[in-house]
Structure 1
Amino acid sequence: MTRIIKPFLLALLTLCTVLPMKAQTERSEIDDKYKWDLTPVYESDDVWEQKLEDFKTEMRKVSEFKDKLGNSASDLLAYLTFSDKLMKEGYRLYIYASLKSDMDLREMDNLARTKKIREVFISFGQLASFVSPELAAIPDETIQKFLKEEPKLGIHRMDLEDISRMKMHTLSDLEEALMAKTGMITGTAGSAYNVFSNAEMPWENMTLSNGEEIELNRTEFSVIRAAADRADRQNATKVYWDNYLKFEGTYGELLNGNVKVDVFSAKARNYESSLEAALKPNNIPVEVYHSLVENVNKNLPTFHRYLKLKQRMLGVDTLRYSDIYAPTVKGVELKYTYDEAQELILKAFKPLGKEYVNVVEQAFDNRWIDVYPNTGKRSGAYSNGAAYDVHPYILLNYTDSYNEVSTLAHELGHTMHSYYSNKTQPFATANYATFVAEVASTFNEVLLNDMMQKKLKDDDLKLSLLMSMLDGFKGTLFRQTQFAEFELKIHEMAEQGVPLTGQQLTELYGDICRKYYGHDKNVCKVEDNIGIEWAAIPHFYMGFYVYQYSTSFVASQALASKVLAGEKGAKEKYMEFISAGGSDFPIEILKNAGVDMTTSEPFEQAIAAMNDLMDQIEMILDKQ
């Protein structure tokens, strides 16, 4: 339904995993084969500018459909055909602008393009504000009559039938126009956060135990927190997060502003809560969110078992939060060049068949991937596949660690999901819901880890890999649910009229973090300044996105186990899943693939898999 009702919103087009950015190389120094080729999108900036002008002219024609949508099946089809064609071009315009900007955030011309297209979409939202109420006013029996009269409306069936379910959240013409105009300001907090945290925040210097002085930016902190030297880890944890605390008030106001937008929008559209407003459009019961948080809290003893195992392997009397990224197997570090990473991934993906592997090879060979970090480049990693008639694009900041190999596999999951959905579905149903957006990505990580587990023979290498796999459970299932619990509570506070300050956010986050890590049970001591970690999480500006990492992780574990076990029809069902796009509600698409996320069974299977990994580690440790 979102494609019909809110075609101007592009906030969730980018699927991202936030990682540190290494900013030491100029882009001009990197070989072109490791950089995006954007010419399949548009041949040049000049072409983009012309296409933007054409789009602005075309979008004004939407007014021609006013008061006609319910007249006949042919009139409704005419609007939907117009909307699809317009949005296909609009997505393309947005992707070109955003990719160009992410190459170097310092380039103001590139940044200006993204602002231009966002403002154009906001303008279109105002012009098309009549669409939602007009569609909602069409009687259900009339919609069914139109569907019978005009077979070409079939590709829009789910969206059209869904209109009735969402009528109570559809406003009048005037109200929809006002809501559209709010788009000019609602993204301000997120944009300000992105600029400040990625480009303008100052960093403190730190002296390492070897006497070297460094600037402790994101990249350096990610390296040092995973270093073998414990004193350096602890010192870095203090310096890095103390620096964030200096800006606690600023970050607090930014997140408070973002949460207020969510609360306002939910209330304006007659939702009972911000959570319902985020989940209901995709027909996700709020119970799924609450169940995830409850199940994770119920299984914190399993997480604590992992932490105690890490303590045992590190050989420390007291495990601290500053230890959780430390290498657990001394002298062992899995490192792979980008070329080696490609070979590993192609081998790992073989269970999905030759065609799947061939498409991945195209991604490697045809510059779908921007591989290495460069000065000014956006941090992290993501895949963007919203350009329907063009292949998806992947952003990386590759630095040779095994985690980077896993990240590449992860983003290729997004890419393949987009590729097959775009290839199989018409534009109207190609865009899949965010609830399933992380399934294919984490599925690929499972395939990679399974292949690596069979490949490695040395016990220490196996231990390192198994702990890396456990770290995946920690980072995706438990950590993302920890984020989800925090995000839910701050929205509930705002809905109750409690003003959110940086200090309150830090206290709340610290309390939740201490609960998850068993601070009061002496499982893992959480340093005092860790409470400010919320300020470094950009996903809190994405409206209840993070929980889907956890639910997707659970679903992918179940799907991958079926494929790897050679279960009859499992591979075919998985390929149908990544080809389904948005042709059905996400819960139903997963059910068709063999996973029911409305039950606790997939979660219980994931916890069992985690305990099995820990059993394997303990067997090796006991043998040693």
Structure 2
Amino acid sequence: MLRKTKLMTAVMLFSTSIAVSQMKVREELPDKYKWNLTDLYSSDEAWKQEKDRIQTEMQKAAQFKGKLTQSASSLLEALRFNTKIAKDMVRLSSYASMKSDQDTRVTKYAGMKQELSQLFSQYGALTSFMVPELLTFNDEQLKSFIQQEKGLETYRFYLSDLLRKRAHKGSEEVERTLAYSSLMSGNASSVYNTFMNAEFPYADIEIDGKVVKLNSSNFALYRASENRDLRAKVFETYFNKLNQFQRTLGTTLYGNLNTALFYAKARNYNSTLESALDGGNIPTAVYHNLVKNVNNNMETFHRYLNLRKRMMGLETLHYYDLYAPLVEQVDLSYTVEESIDNILNSLKPLGKEYVDVSKKAFNKRWIDMYPNEGKRSGAYSNGSAYDVHPYILMNYNGKYNDMSTLTHELGHTMHSYLANKKQDFANANYSIFVAEVASTLNEELLNDYMLKQIKDDKTRLAILGNYLEGAKGTLFRQTQFAEFELMIHDKVGKGEALTGEDFDRMYLELTRKYYGHDKNVCIVDDNVKSEWSYIPHFYYNFYVYQYATSYTASTALSEKVLNGTDEDRKKYLNFLAAGGSKYPVELLEDAGVNMNSSEPFDLTIAKVNKVITEMEAILTRLGK
């Protein structure tokens, strides 16, 4: 079944303004800052009526059984039916999911999400005959059918890719069983998300004479405090509370690892890594090379950490210092309107259509902007509603990082918008491997624009520092996460049982290696061992490495957009509009980036070092 997935970027926000942080009840927020989900369905009742209709309609799938290879016209009819049902179900899923994310405490929408999970499972079982039948095709027969029925050209890539994976598909009975297994396969992730977002007993902490509940949003806020003692207290309190549930959170993560192993074995893959990457036809060498390249360039990361130590005037840098402001007394606060203005100006190199659609996203309530009680943390773009438009969830808190996050998610939205406009639903959903290219490139354009406006040394330091923070968080930190994932999946693949204590030990050792703990570059305190349980991406199975690979690709492409020719910019926009019509490595090659070479990574490391050099020169000029 063709299914369009929701793109999510879990971005934890660093700081807030008092005015915004007081907006805690959703009903108090102005409508213009809340997304308009009536563009999807006019009401919950309309959603239910559509779900009931689809539940009846999808029963017709049985009429195609045994007929897929009889004629080109029969095949086309079946594929169009399948695509239409999948598209409609994904729209239902988008509505239920986003309604739930508005306030995760509302059980009604959690129930609607569960209903959709069951609906997908039911449809998967009903269409379990399709893949086994399609796998009886040979290449020549498929070619002949496409020549007879031009409408099948839309499905050429899907069908060719399916035949490529022939060795990993099972009989009708096996496919039906795997379809039904989806009813339980997401349990570990669902338990984790519900527990952490709705029921986790976050600790209270006293800050400036007031008692504050240290939930994930407030942790992200106060870990960025200029008060070092407070930062240390926040980290210790938050991570120690996580560690009290080490056994439970260890069990849910271990359950997720076993789910991935089950599917890898059921699909005849050699490993969970191979299973996860094969969807986009990505060689496992790409993953291993990323980890190797980052480890071989750790001195660049340590150079950044030593720069942070110098800028903060510290004799010893601790892990809890990594989110504190780099430059004192620089006001990098922005209202939503100021952020929108800066973002739109920064996007002008991408052309009028790109900017005009971005304006529409801001003006037509595609975005849920501010935090409220119970709202899902972080930020994401959901481009799943093919016939409508993408949506963005934000938790905007008024700082430069929030402006950067907003343009990041807008990059995802524009990628989805252009792909949905250009491609049929069957080919619109792009691979996660390229998902972060558009978002990270948007950030690069914003940084470039802001640096051209700002000449003050201290403010330039802050903007350049923001770039380095992005490199730290996207290239180095995400690769560290990727290496941790590889370690824990490999152990489970070898039959080892893992507990919360095991995850603690492995995570702490790896983090200390990355941050140069033993070299006194950055001290990683014992309580950091619990951080793995704070990262929801470990439930996405080999997702995070793609942040880093996309980051290197976007560095190469941003150079072409900013300093290249009109043809370079056209190639980039064509890349966005291509959606998932080719394998991701091929799409990037069309855009002008060769991911099979080390060039994108080398360019990124060179840029990071160049920024560090400029910041060091400014510090010397300022006498620091």
Query: Does structure 2 conserve the Cα–Cα contact (< 8 Å) formed by 1:94 and 1:117?
Result: yes
Where does structure 2 lack aligned partners over 5 or more consecutive residues? 15-20
Query: Does structure 1 conserve the Cα–Cα contact (< 8 Å) formed by 2:381 and 2:409?
Result: yes
Map 1:106-125 → 2, pairs under 5 A: 106-125=105-124
Distance 2:49 2:393 in 1: 26
Instruction: Give 1:15's match in structure 2, choosing from 8, 13, 16.
Output: 8
Q: Secondary structure at the match of 1:394?
A: strand
Query: Does structure 2 conserve the Cα–Cα contact (< 8 Å) formed by 1:20 and 1:218?
Result: no
CA displacement 1:521-556 (0-9 Å, x = unmatched): 111000101011000000111121100100011101
Q: Is the aligned partner of 1:35 residue 2:34? A: yes
TM-score (norm 1): 0.97
Instruction: Give 2:277's match in structure 1, choosing from 272, 276, 279.
Output: 279
Query: Does structure 2 conserve the Cα–Cα contact (< 8 Å) formed by 1:122 and 1:181?
Result: yes
TM-score (norm 2): 0.97
CA displacement 1:548-574 (0-9 Å, x = unmatched): 100011101110011111334111011
Query: Does structure 2 conserve the Cα–Cα contact (< 8 Å) formed by 1:34 and 1:369?
Result: yes
CA displacement 1:145-172 (0-9 Å, x = unmatched): 1111111100111111222210000001
Offset of 1:205 from its aligned partner? 2.1
Q: Which residue of 1 aligns with 2:18?
A: none
Q: Secondary structure at the match of 2:387?
A: coil
Shifted more, 300-309 versus 332-341: the winner is 332-341
Offset of 1:207 from its aligned partner? 2.9
Q: Which residue of 1 aligns with 2:477?
A: 479
Q: Which residue of 1 aligns with 2:409?
A: 411
Q: Which residue of 2 aligns with 1:3?
A: none
Q: Which residue of 1 aligns with 2:95?
A: 96
Query: Does structure 2 conserve the Cα–Cα contact (< 8 Å) formed by 1:23 and 1:373?
Result: no
Q: Secondary structure at the match of 2:324?
A: coil
Map 1:417-436 → 2, pairs under 5 A: 417-436=415-434
Q: Is the aligned partner of 1:496 residue 2:494? A: yes
Q: Which residue of 1 aligns with 2:66?
A: 67
Q: Secondary structure at the match of 2:201?
A: coil
Distance 1:181 1:20 in 2: 37
> One-letter code of the match for 1:141?
E
Measured on the aligned residues, the alpha-carbon RMSD in Å equals 1.2
Query: Does structure 2 conserve the Cα–Cα contact (< 8 Å) formed by 1:98 and 1:114?
Result: yes
Query: Does structure 2 conserve the Cα–Cα contact (< 8 Å) formed by 1:25 and 1:375?
Result: yes
Q: Which residue of 1 aligns with 2:239?
A: 241
Q: Which residue of 2 aligns with 1:127?
A: 126
Distance 1:586 1:609 in 2: 24
Query: Does structure 1 conserve the Cα–Cα contact (< 8 Å) formed by 2:216 and 2:377?
Result: no
Q: Secondary structure at the match of 1:282?
A: coil
Q: Which residue of 2 aligns with 1:338?
A: 336
Distance 1:66 1:34 in 2: 48
Q: Which residue of 1 aligns with 2:440?
A: 442
Q: Which residue of 2 aligns with 1:56?
A: 55
Query: Does structure 1 conserve the Cα–Cα contact (< 8 Å) formed by 2:13 and 2:402?
Result: no
Query: Does structure 1 conserve the Cα–Cα contact (< 8 Å) formed by 2:13 and 2:221?
Result: no
Offset of 1:40 from its aligned partner? 1.7
Distance 2:577 2:300 in 1: 35
Query: Does structure 2 conserve the Cα–Cα contact (< 8 Å) formed by 1:23 and 1:376?
Result: no
Q: Which residue of 2 aligns with 1:259?
A: 257
Distance 1:216 1:429 in 2: 43
Map 1:503-542 → 2, pairs under 5 A: 503-542=501-540
Map 1:200-349 → 2, pairs under 5 A: 200-208=199-207, 210-349=208-347
> One-letter code of the match for 1:120?
L
Map 1:185-196 → 2, pairs under 5 A: 185-196=184-195
Moved over 6 A (4+): none
Q: Is the aligned partner of 1:138 residue 2:137? A: yes
> One-letter code of the match for 1:328?
L
Distance 1:219 1:584 in 2: 38
Query: Does structure 2 conserve the Cα–Cα contact (< 8 Å) formed by 1:429 and 1:583?
Result: yes
Identity %: 50
Distance 1:240 1:421 in 2: 41
Distance 1:374 1:229 in 2: 26
Q: Is the aligned partner of 1:467 residue 2:465? A: yes
Distance 2:112 2:159 in 1: 33
Distance 2:426 2:584 in 1: 15
> One-letter code of the match for 1:360?
S
Shifted more, 285-294 versus 38-47: the winner is 38-47
Q: Which residue of 2 aligns with 1:397?
A: 395
Distance 1:23 1:502 in 2: 36
Q: Secondary structure at the match of 1:164?
A: helix
Q: Secondary structure at the match of 1:378?
A: coil
CA displacement 1:385-414 (0-9 Å, x = unmatched): 111110100010111011000000000000
Distance 1:221 1:179 in 2: 39
CA displacement 1:417-439 (0-9 Å, x = unmatched): 00000001111111111111111
Shifted more, 233-242 versus 489-498: the winner is 233-242
Q: Secondary structure at the match of 1:214?
A: strand
Offset of 1:43 from its aligned partner? 1.1
Distance 1:245 1:266 in 2: 30
Shifted more, 453-462 versus 104-113: the winner is 104-113
Query: Does structure 1 conserve the Cα–Cα contact (< 8 Å) formed by 2:13 and 2:401?
Result: no
Distance 1:121 1:212 in 2: 47
Q: Secondary structure at the match of 1:599?
A: coil
Distance 2:11 2:566 in 1: 36
Offset of 1:253 from its aligned partner? 0.2
CA displacement 1:71-94 (0-9 Å, x = unmatched): 111111111111111111111111
Q: Secondary structure at the match of 1:569?
A: helix
Query: Does structure 2 conserve the Cα–Cα contact (< 8 Å) formed by 1:249 and 1:501?
Result: yes
> One-letter code of the match for 2:10?
T
Distance 2:384 2:211 in 1: 43
Query: Does structure 1 conserve the Cα–Cα contact (< 8 Å) formed by 2:68 and 2:75?
Result: yes
Q: Is the aligned partner of 1:452 residue 2:450? A: yes
> One-letter code of the match for 2:134?
L
Query: Does structure 1 conserve the Cα–Cα contact (< 8 Å) formed by 2:39 and 2:388?
Result: yes
Offset of 1:24 from its aligned partner? 5.2
Distance 2:205 2:424 in 1: 54
CA displacement 1:33-83 (0-9 Å, x = unmatched): 111111221111111111101100111111111111111111111111111
Offset of 1:212 from its aligned partner? 3.8
Q: Which residue of 1 aligns with 2:352?
A: 354
Offset of 1:256 from its aligned partner? 0.2
Where does structure 1 lack aligned partners over 5 or more consecutive residues? 1-5
> One-letter code of the match for 1:108?
T
Map 1:146-161 → 2, pairs under 5 A: 146-161=145-160
Query: Does structure 1 conserve the Cα–Cα contact (< 8 Å) formed by 2:13 and 2:397?
Result: no
Distance 1:97 1:117 in 2: 8
Offset of 1:191 from its aligned partner? 0.3
Q: Secondary structure at the match of 1:207?
A: strand
CA displacement 1:337-390 (0-9 Å, x = unmatched): 001110010100011111110000101110000111111111111111111110
> One-letter code of the match for 2:53?
D
Distance 1:219 1:164 in 2: 46
Offset of 1:20 from its aligned partner? 5.2
Distance 1:417 1:398 in 2: 21
Shifted more, 224-233 versus 479-488: the winner is 224-233
